[in-house]
């Protein structure tokens, strides 16, 4: 992708720092801690790695949903996350509060075929807050604390570019 995109508004996800920065007019206007893939960076389908490169927000889900709303298949389940619910399903990969679905922009790197971020269902999403500790722990997505993902959801727009890098 062209390097001139770096001057435009975008979201910057630094895998080494486990940080998401909102860039506006070439300046960082907001930072959030995140947790990306425990398997590290990678683009292959089934790898449970976080894909690198330029992406864009394909869709936003969960507007006005209550904090800690549980999602499955990008739909609210009717559940609200609690530690009691977590105890019943300890292995569940919790997707909470809001979803920003990413699609890759770089054919052969993160778009089309076995490296397609959209087909891999890579999201920026809420997670139990205690699982977002600046330590890679996810199954490939970018996890955020619930209040943080609400704030980001309100700032970000569909079509906005997202750079994921080491």
Asked if residue 27 belongs to a domain, the reply is no
Range name among 4-13, 63-72, 98-107, 110-119 with the lowest pLDDT average: 4-13
Asked if residue 31 belongs to a domain, the reply is no
Residue 115's φ and ψ, nearest 5 degrees, are -120, 10
What is residue 74's predicted lDDT score, i.e. its pLDDT?
96
| Closest to 111 measured CA to CA, from 57, 49, 43 | 43
113 secondary structure, DSSP code? G
Asked if residue 20 belongs to a domain, the reply is no
Global pTM value: 0.94
149-165 pLDDT, tens digit per residue, is 999 999 999 999 999 99
Total count of domains within the chain: 1
Q: Any residues with CB less than 8 A from the CB of 93 and at least 6 apart, and which?
A: 138, 139
Asked if residue 110 belongs to a domain, the reply is yes
Mean confidence (pLDDT) of the chain: 95
The band of 4, judged by pLDDT with boundaries at 50, 70 and 90, is very low
| Closest to 47 measured CA to CA, from 113, 120, 110, 124 | 120
Asked if residue 73 belongs to a domain, the reply is yes
- What's the whole-number mean pLDDT along residues 101-126? 98
Range of the domain at 71: 36-160
Whole-angstrom distance, CA of residue 100 vs CA of residue 122: 9
What is residue 8's predicted lDDT score, i.e. its pLDDT?
62
Asked if residue 114 belongs to a domain, the reply is yes
Asked if residue 149 belongs to a domain, the reply is yes
53-68 pLDDT, tens digit per residue, is 999 999 999 999 999 9
Asked if residue 48 belongs to a domain, the reply is yes
What is residue 85's predicted lDDT score, i.e. its pLDDT?
96
CATH code at position 92: 2.40.440
């Amino acid at each position: 992708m062209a390097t001139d995109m770096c001057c435009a508004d975008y979201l910057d996800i630094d895998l080494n720092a486990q940080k998401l920065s909102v860039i506006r007019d070439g300046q960082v206007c907001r930072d959030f801690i995140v947790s990306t893939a425990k398997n590290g960076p990678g683009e292959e389908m089934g790898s449970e790695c976080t894909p690198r490169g330029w992406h864009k927000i394909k869709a936003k889900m969960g507007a006005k949903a209550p904090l800690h709303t549980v999602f499955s298949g990008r739909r609210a389940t009717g559940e609200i996350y609690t530690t009691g619910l977590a105890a019943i399903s300890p292995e569940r990969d919790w997707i909470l509060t809001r979803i920003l679905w990413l699609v890759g922009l770089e054919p052969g790197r993160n778009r089309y075929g076995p490296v397609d971020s959209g087909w891999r269902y890579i999201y920026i999403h809420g997670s139990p807050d205690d699982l977002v500790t600046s330590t890679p722990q996810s199954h490939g997505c970018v996890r955020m604390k619930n209040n943080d993902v609400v704030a980001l959801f309100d700032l970000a727009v569909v079509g906005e570019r997202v750079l994921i890098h080491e």
